[in-house]
Amino acid sequence: MDAEPRSARVQARRSPGGQLPGGRAYAVLGAAGLLLAGCASMPDSGEIRQVQASQGVDSQVRVFGVPPADKASPAEIVDGFLEAMTSDDPQLETARKYLTEDAAKNWRPGSAVTVLSAGLDRYPVQGDKEPDEPRWKVTGKKLATVDERSAYQPETGGGRYEEYLQLVQVNKQWRIATPPSSLVLSESDFQRIYKPVNKYYFAGSTLVADPVYVRQRSDPDSRMDPTTQTVQSLLAGPSKWLGPVVTSNFPSGTALREGTKSLSYDGQNTLRVPLNEKADNVAHPQCQKMATQLLYTVRDLTASRLDRVELVRSDGKSSQCSVTGAAAAAIANRALAPEHQYYVEGSRLVRMTLDVNSEDQQQDKAEPAPGPLSTAAGFKVGSAAVAYDEKRAAVVSEDGHGLYVVNLTTAGAMPPAVLTGKSGGKLTAPSWDALGDLWISDLGPQSPGLWRVPGGTGTPQKVEVAGLGGGRITALKASSDGVRIALLVENDGGRKNLFIGRVERPEGKADASAVSVRELRPAAPQMADVTAMSWAPRGRLLVVGRESGGVVQARYMLADGSMVAASLPGATGLSAVAASEDEAQPVVAFSDDDGIVWLPPGAQWRTVAAGGRAPVYPG
C-alpha cells in the first residue's frame, strides 16, 4: 500500500467568463468517514473529490474551501472566492483569505443570505479609470433571501442578483476589496448548508410556529451549533412578517448569558439555558411561557426527545423556573387532537372514528354526523368544516348558495343560513380557526371576496385582503393559531397560485370589520399550478399541485414558501387533501379513482370510503 498520506490538492478548472466550471475547488469528506469518526473531528484520511455546484450534495457531506494559490490570476481569485462561500465553515475563514485585510475584517456575510435558483454568472468589467485594478460582475436569478432574523422570503418578481467585486493587488497578490454584501448560494448549496426549524411565539394564549433557517454544522467556539443558533434567533424576536401578530415573553434585550458557548442536554433530557440580567426579574407565569417557547423551539429542531427546559439566572447558578413537556403543552394551548375525520358521502356529512392501528378496515365504520344534519329531510351538503371542539359544523349547501352552522351535540331543525352568496354567487368550502371564527369566500361575479363570521354566529363581515388584486379566492384554509390564512387564488388566465396572508386583529377596536389580511406572500412558488392544500403539523402546508412540466404531486411546504424535502408517495390523482395537527393521524385525501383514501404514518395508501369526497379534519 502507498505510504503517502491520502490527501490531495484539488485544482479547479477556471474560465475567464460565464458560469463557474464543473470542477470545484473543494475537499469533500464522505459521510461514511464522518460517521465512523463519530462526527467529533475531521478524519485524517479518506477520498478528496471534486463536487459540481448543482449536484445538491448530501447534507452529511462536509465541504471545505481551498485557499488562494500563490500568484493566482484575478479570474482564479474570483472563482475561488465564490466557491469558498459555499464551504461548510460557518466563519468562512477560507473565503476571507481571498479578501484584502480590511475587507476580511469588515465582511459580515452571516447577516443575510441570497439564494439563487442556479449558480452565479461572472465576467470581468473593463474599467476606464483604473485598468490595472480589474472589476468583476457577478449575477444570478434570485430565488429567495434569508434576512438577519433567519427568515426566508421567496423572490416574487423574478429579480436578478447583481454585484461587483473590485480586485486590488496586495504584496503582488490579487485580492478582493469589495466582497458581496451577503452570503450568496445556489439553491442546492443552501439546502445542504441550512436546515429549516420553527421558533415559537404567542398570539394571545396560543403558541405559533415562526419558520427560520439555521446552519446545520456545529462550531461551538463561535456559537454556531444549531441549537444555540436557534435559541439566539428566538431571543432576537419573531420574523418581520409574523411580528405584527405575535409577541415574545422574553423581555427586550434578553440574550444568552455572556460567555455561553453552546447549549446541550443533560442525562435527563433537560436543557439548561442561562440568560442575561434582562430576564432576572420576570414573574413566574411569564417565565414559564418563556420556557415553553424554548422547549417547543428546541424540540422542533432536534430529533431527540426534550423533556424539560430550565431557565438559569444571570448568576449562572440559580434556577429561575422550569417547564416539562406536559406543562408546556397546557401553556401552549394548541389545537385539540381530533376524534373523528369527516367527509361528504352522497349528500350527507359523515364522520369516521380515527383508529390508525386498525388492520381490519371493517372497523372503520362511517356514521352520519349527529345533530340536525342527520334528520333534515332534503338538505344536501356540498362542503363542510368542523370546529376544533367538534361541537359545531359549518356546511355549504350542494348548490353552493348558502352557509349554515349546525350543532353536532343536539338534534333540532336546520337553522337559517348565516351567509348567502351575493348576486347568486357560489361559496367555497368554509374553514374554522381555533378562535372560533368561521372563514369563507364568495365567488359571486358581482361581489367576490373573503368573509368572516365572528364566533361562527355573528354578523358576517367582509375582510379586506391587501394585495389580492383581481384574483378570485377559490379555496381557503385558516391556520389553527388564527394568525394566518392560506388562500388559493385564481387569476384571469385560470392559473391557481397559493398565498399565505397574515390575519390582523387590531386591539382596542370594537368594529369586527377591522380584521384584515395583510402581506400576501407565495406559499408554493415552485408550483406552476396548485390543486388543493391543507395545514399540516408544525405550521407546514401540505400542497397538491404540479411543478412546471411535471406531474401532480403532494408536497410539504413551510409557511414561508420554502419547500420541505418530504413529499407523499404515490400521490398522483389527488384533488383534495386534509392533514391533522396531530402527526399520529393519517393524511386523508380524495382520489378520483378510489374515493376517500388514508395514508397513516409509515404505511401505504388505503381506500376507506369509495363513495366519499371532500375530506376534512376539524378546522
Instruction: Give the C-alpha separation, 200 to 294, whole Å.
Output: 8
Q: Which of 178, 158, 156, 174 is nearest to 166 (CA)?
A: 178
Handedness of CA 268, 270, 272, 278 (dihedral sign): negative
CATH of domain 340-616: 2.120.10.30
Q: Which of 425, 376, 423, 430 is nearest to 400 (CA)?
A: 425
The pLDDT, as a whole number, for residue 129 is 53
Instruction: Give the C-alpha separation, 25 to 12, whole Å.
Output: 5
SS3 563: strand
Instruction: Give the C-alpha separation, 523 to 510, whole Å.
Output: 31
Per-position DSSP letters for 501-565, written without gaps between them: EEEE--TT---GGG-EEEEEEES-TTEEEEEEEEEEGGGEEEEEEEETTS-EEEEEEETTSPEEE
Residue 485 is inside which H or E element, if any?
strand 484-490
Please work out, in degrees rounded to the nearest 5, the angle formed at the alpha carbon of residue 16 by the alpha carbons of 13 and 21.
35
Instruction: Give the C-alpha separation, 155 to 139, whole Å.
Output: 15
Decide: residue 297, CB within 10 A, 0-12 exposed, 13-18 middle, 19+ buried.
buried
pLDDT per position as a tens digit, 271-282:
999 999 999 999
Instruction: Give the C-alpha separation, 170 to 365, whole Å.
Output: 78
Neighbours of 244 (CB within 10 A): 13
The pLDDT, as a whole number, for residue 358 is 53
Domain parsing of the chain, residue ranges = 18-193, 200-332, 340-616
pLDDT per position as a tens digit, 58-82:
555 678 889 999 999 999 999 999 9
Quick one: cell of 444? 359571486
Place of cell 364522520: 351
Residue 20 is inside which H or E element, if any?
none
Place of cell 406552476: 528
β-partners of residue 396 are 383, 403
The pLDDT, as a whole number, for residue 179 is 95
SS3 152: strand
What does pLDDT average to in each consecutive run of 10 residues of the chain (619 residues)? 32 38 40 30 36 44 86 95 90 94 91 88 74 87 91 84 95 95 91 92 95 78 75 95 96 94 83 96 97 94 83 92 95 88 94 68 73 86 96 96 95 92 86 94 87 94 91 94 94 88 77 82 89 93 87 89 82 90 92 92 90 95
Quick one: cell of 72? 493566482
8 A C-beta contact, residue 236 and residue 228: no
Instruction: Give the C-alpha separation, 615 to 586, whole Å.
Output: 12
8 A C-beta contact, residue 215 and residue 90: yes
Task: Give the N- to C-terminal CA distance of the chain in Å, as an integer.
Answer: 66
| Integer angstrom CA distances of residue 121 from 37, 117, 578 | 37, 12, 42
CA atoms within 13 A on the CB side of 226: 20
| Integer angstrom CA distances of residue 389 from 361, 408, 512 | 26, 10, 23
E strand segments, 26-172:
26-29, 62-65, 113-116, 121-125, 135-146, 152-154, 160-170
Q: What is the DSSP letter of 255?
A: -
The pLDDT, as a whole number, for residue 64 is 81
Residue 424 is inside which H or E element, if any?
none
8 A C-beta contact, residue 429 and residue 384: yes
Whole-angstrom Cα Rg for the chain? 27
Instruction: Give the C-alpha separation, 72 to 11, whole Å.
Output: 12
Instruction: Give the C-alpha separation, 351 to 365, whole Å.
Output: 9
| Integer angstrom CA distances of residue 137 from 77, 79, 121, 191, 352 | 13, 12, 8, 25, 61
8 A C-beta contact, residue 390 and residue 339: yes
8 A C-beta contact, residue 79 and residue 165: no
The pLDDT, as a whole number, for residue 444 is 85
Pairing relationship of beta strands 135-146 and 113-116 according to DSSP bridges: antiparallel
Instruction: Give the C-alpha separation, 512 to 506, whole Å.
Output: 9
The pLDDT, as a whole number, for residue 148 is 86
Residue 267 is inside which H or E element, if any?
none
8 A C-beta contact, residue 595 and residue 607: yes
The pLDDT, as a whole number, for residue 14 is 34
SS3 269: coil
